[in-house]
Amino acid sequence: MTVQDARRRAHLILAALFLLSLQSIGHLSWAEILRLALITGGLVWVFQRYRRSLDGASVGSFEKTAAAVLATVAAFVTTQFDPDTSVISKTTGEIRLSSSFFTGIVCSFGLLIVVVFSPLRDALRWRSWSKLDGIVIGVVVLAAILTMGAQQFVGSGLTVAKALATAKVLSLAGLWLGVTRTYGGGWQSYESRLKQLLLSRWTGALVAACVLFVPTLLYGTFRVGLVLHHFGEGREAYARKAYTVARDHYNIVSELNRTLALGFVRDRYLSDLAVLQFREGDAKGAREVMSRMKLFTSDKVEAEVRSGDIYLRAGMRAEAQQTFERVLDAWGKHIESIDKLGGLYLQNRDTKRFLRLVERYDYVPQTEAVSFDDRIFLGDIFYFQSRFGDALTQYSEASDLRERDSYGVYKVGRALLAQGQYRSALRSFQDAVRLDSAFADAHFRMGQCLEGLGSVDEAWQSYQKTVTLLSNHFDARMAVSRIEEQNRQ
């Protein structure tokens, strides 16, 4: 076999690798599709930029660099277009030994065999290796050893499939040596344009790569568009409470996204699916979906918080509360969990647990108080912490919600009185008394304001009114006795 024969055969083997990989264009993830788009664009740009240099017949560092780039692209094809070594393998688990798996091995070792049985074999001797050759082969051998060791000592033991997987890793060395040796030297020129297009060294390789890459990019873009379309339709149906329609769309998205791995889409539709299943009474199915979500979430805290959110949206408050409490017990202060747990305590009017939560983490949960009672509850928490300004804000908003409710106005007065704003507080207590003349403690607080302003006689009248309305009001009785004693002196 002459050198030119070896190069033609290597060219055909490489073209076969690209063409046979067309059978596996449907499993690439969105990240792999994006990476492929960048590689395709880069190859076309480099080819156009350095076309005159590439067409030259001289042997030098430029040709060797171009051959190294081509070998790297071929290695990308053998790994990324093989379901057993691409991202999808992380979700499928066991090695399936697909046709793409064997195509990569056969083509890689085929290139090496072509070199061995040609005059180019002298370039395979380790003395002829460049530093880059040594690095690449060393990395490949190390990867094969690590793969074999992981399968033997960490996995379930060595099997034929796993041994072949190690051979697939080693075949990358043959791919590197075969491509760099056959494409790194001079090349036969062709007069025919068709032969020039298909059989010339760099143009032919670029054409073969584009025959694989372009359809893959188009189909990948279509798949991404299809997932986003059904995801959007599912969310819209979910928003208008057409849950059956939403579930149908999400099931389509779930099937398509197994390979695309669009993370932001996956998290949303899986959480919606779990909520739908809980609402329909399928707790087992919902928990299976939640387990799938946890598989894709490396952060255990985030996984638990998402589970808590699903319980919340499904109206399962007890389960949500237990989940957020478990997060705090296991990982300590986690602001998002504290906020959501505080919201649950607020809804349940569980003052004891809410206060315990505040004291434990020295933090008041940022919860969305909607009702009059919610705002009064939060105001009391702030008041208990001596954060009278924050308490005043909550009490004022509660009072605005129920303008004719004497209790809300009274609470505003309490916050103002605690800040020493006697006149403003007095007006609030007077408003509370106008709304409810029998509000005993509002009369007592009026007395405190009046006494603080120096109107002792009027204060005594307010204290006396308090005792008349509520005879067992101890503080009011003590205030009446104190002022009367002062007057006698």
Residue pair 442/454 in contact (Cβ under 8 Å)? The answer is no
Nearest to 178 by CA among 86, 232, 115, 244: 115
Mean pLDDT of 281-296: 86
Q: Which amino acid is at 348?
A: N
Query: Which residues, in sequence order, are CB contacts of 173 under 8 Å at separation 6+?
Result: 136, 137, 140, 141
- Inter-residue contact 476 to 444 (CB < 8 Å): yes
* pLDDT number for residue 57: 45
The most confident of 57-61, 78-82, 450-454, by mean pLDDT: 450-454
Q: pLDDT higher for 62 or 167?
A: 167
Question: How confident is the model at residue 59, as a pLDDT?
Answer: 47
* Whether residue 297 has pLDDT greater than 50: yes
- Of 77-81, 183-187, 243-247, 396-400, which range is least confident? 183-187
| pLDDT mean over 72-95 | 67
Provide the pLDDT confidence category of residue 148 given band limits of 50, 70 and 90.
low
Amino acid at 368: E
With 50 as the cut, is the pLDDT of residue 284 above it?
Answer: yes
| Cα 246 from chain centroid (whole Å) | 22
Q: What is the model's pTM?
A: 0.62
Q: What is the DSSP string of 81-144?
A: TSTTTSTTHHHH-S----HHHHHHHHHHHHHHHHHHTSGGGGGGSGGG--HHHHHHHHHHHHHH
pLDDT number for residue 420: 93
- 392 or 97: whose pLDDT is higher? 392
Helix (H) or strand (E) holding 412: helix 406-418
**Would you identify the CATH topology of the domain 262-367?**
1.25.40
Q: Give residue 425's pLDDT band: very low, low, confident or very high (50, 70, 90).
A: very high
Range in 77-91, 337-351, 409-423, 443-457 the model is least confident about: 77-91
Q: How far apart are CA 253 and CA 89, in angstroms?
A: 19
* 93 dihedral zone (left: phi>0; alpha: psi -120 to 50; beta): left
- How many angstroms separate the Cα of 237 from the Cα of each of 221, 240, 244, 282? 24, 5, 8, 20
Segment 129-135 long-range contacts (CB within 8 Å, at least 24 positions apart): 130/64, 132/68, 133/176, 133/177, 133/180
**Average pLDDT over every residue of 395-416:** 93
pLDDT score at 63: 72
**pLDDT tens digit sequence for 121-146:** 777 777 777 788 788 888 888 877 77
User: How confident is the model over 254-283, as pLDDT tens digits?
Assistant: 888 888 888 888 888 889 889 988 988 889
Estimate the crossing angle of helix 335-347 against helix 372-384, to 10 degrees.
120
Residue 361 is predicted with a pLDDT of: 87
Query: Which whole-number Å values give the CA distances from 114 to 1, 137, 189, 368, in the listed order?
Result: 9, 19, 20, 72
- Do the Cβ atoms of 196 and 190 come closer than 8 Å? yes
Q: Which residues contact 124 (CB under 8 A, 6 or more apart)?
A: 115, 116, 177, 181
For tokens 């997060």, name the residue: 327
Interval 354-363 mean pLDDT: 85
CB 111 within 8 A of CB 123: no
Segments in 150-200 forming alpha helices (H):
160-183, 193-199
Handedness of CA 471, 476, 482, 488 (dihedral sign): negative
Among 90-104, 211-225, 461-475, the range scoring the smallest mean pLDDT is: 90-104
Region 195-201: what's the mean pLDDT? 59
Phi, psi of 60 (to 5 degrees): -165, -170
Percent share of the chain, pLDDT over 70: 87
Task: Of 15-24, 218-227, 292-301, give the range with the top mean pLDDT.
Answer: 218-227
CATH 1.25.40.10 boundaries in the chain? 262-367
- Taking only the tens place, the pLDDT of each residue in 227-251 is 999 999 999 998 888 888 988 898 8
23 DSSP 8-state letter: G
Q: How far is CA 117 from CA 10, 127, 128, in A?
A: 12, 19, 17
Degrees, nearest 5: CA angle 329-330-334: 75
Confidence at 96, pLDDT banded by 50, 70, 90: low
Which phi and psi (to 5°) does residue 168 adopt?
-65, -40
CA 192 from chain center: how many Å?
Answer: 54
Lowest mean pLDDT among 33-42, 92-101, 429-438: 92-101
Judge contact between 203 and 189, C-beta under 8 A.
no
Q: Report the alpha-carbon distance of residue 489 to residue 485 in Å, rounded.
A: 6
Q: Which pLDDT does position 421 carry in this prediction?
A: 95
pLDDT of residue 89: 52
Task: List phi, psi (to 5°) of 137.
Answer: -65, -40
- Please, what is the average pLDDT of the chain? 82
Count the neighbouring beta carbons within 10 Å of the beta carbon of residue 259: 20
Between CA 326 and CA 365, with CA 374 as vertex, the angle to 5 degrees is 40
- pLDDT band of residue 426 (cuts 50, 70, 90) is very high
- C-alpha 39/C-alpha 34 separation (Å) is 9
CA atoms within 13 A on the CB side of 422: 11
State the pLDDT at residue 61.
Answer: 57
